[in-house]
Amino acid sequence: MYESEGDGSQSDCFLVKMAEEIIVILRASGFQVEMSHNVVDEVYIQDAVKLDKGADAVLVRWNSEDSTKKGDNFASAISTVQVTYSKAAVEEEVTYFVKLMPYRENKQPSGFDLMTFNKEGRFYTELLPLLNVELSAIGLKTLRIPQCFNSAWKKGHNQVVLEDLQPKGFRMYDRKKGLDKNHAALVMEELARLHAASQLLQRKLNQKGLSDKFEFLTWQWFNYSEKMRKDYNSLITGSLMTTACLAEGVGDHGAAEWFKDIAPKAMVTVENLISRSSKFDVVCHGDCSVNNVMFRYSEEGVLVEVILFDLQVCCKSSLGLDLNYFLFSSLDEPEHSL
């Protein structure tokens, strides 16, 4: 075990060693820490301009720059694309965010990258439009999820073009802080609208379930491929054992024993939690946390609206999956007792 007692330098050394050990576990499980990406393809930008601005809109020029850096905690690379287009002989400008398929150290996407990227692309192009139709039919606003400007999703697609939310005033919350009850309530309200829309669509499909029509909702790290299952078993088990070392290092022997005990059975536990339960089945966001929401405020600083994004691990499961994950991961400590 690492010793953590003593001055700050010893404590820092302990944390560095722990970080190094986590990276070793990630690499051993096939998850490469370093990430690169392909460049933005003009074909996707042309498609986006016509979907966004009309069939008569013509792309004039564009340029892109990377919007992600180390430490941002994003699974994909993101580029900001500044576009000039012409419509009715008038040039105008617009900005898009483009999510790019990541490539790891072997210059190939991992199995997890392929699964999550295709999940999100198909959610935006195949499922989201139908969910919004259901809400519009009963007089409700469409889901507060970024507009996607991919006309379709096909095998081999590796870029998702999304609207730039910053001109509308949306901004990220400080992910180092937990949400207060007002922010949390707004997120839960939007989650509820996503869940309810999926129930409405399910009724329309009758005997054919959502997961039958949208197979990608069933894709998980434990069933996408045998290699991915083995990799993530190593990742989860190794991470929990590393956490046990961290607990030991700060003197919490009870917590350390708990992590050691759960580590060998963690994968099966998570698999059982994610598995569908028909009574409460909905389309879940799957990764709803403070990292994956943006908020808009009035000029007076009053909270107005939320946007949910990063639907990379969307799935059909119990709504409790979204609620538990969000409540335990994203609330400020004092709000846990409310």
Do residues 101 and 158 lie in contact, with contact meaning Cβ atoms separated by under 8 Å? yes
Is residue 93 a part of any domain in this protein?
Answer: yes
Question: Based on C-alpha coordinates, what's the Rg of the chain?
Answer: 22
User: Could you please report the per-residue DSSP string of 137-153?
Assistant: HTT-PPPSS--B--S--
In-domain check, residue 142: yes
Residue 2 lies in a domain: no
CB distance 239 to 22 below 8 Å = yes
Residues paired with 78 in a beta bridge: 99
Domain residue limits at 102? 8-337
Mean pLDDT by 10 residues, the chain (338 residues): 40 50 52 59 96 97 84 75 96 96 78 92 97 98 97 92 95 91 96 97 84 93 90 88 91 94 91 78 95 96 96 93 93 68
What pLDDT, on the 0 to 100 scale, is given for residue 87?
Answer: 96
Quote the pLDDT of residue 37. 56
| 3: in domain | no
DSSP code string of 65-133: EE---TTS--SSEEEEEEEEEEETTEEEEEEEEEEE-EE-TTSS--HHHHHHHHHHHHIIIIIHHHHHH
- Confirm whether 162 is domain-assigned: yes
Q: How confident is the model at residue 97, as a pLDDT?
A: 95
Task: Give me the pLDDT at residue 66, please.
Answer: 87
Domain count, the chain: 1
Residue 1 covered by a domain = no
61: in domain: yes
Q: Is residue 92 part of a domain?
A: yes
The answer to whether the CB of 123 falls within 8 A of the CB of 314 is: yes
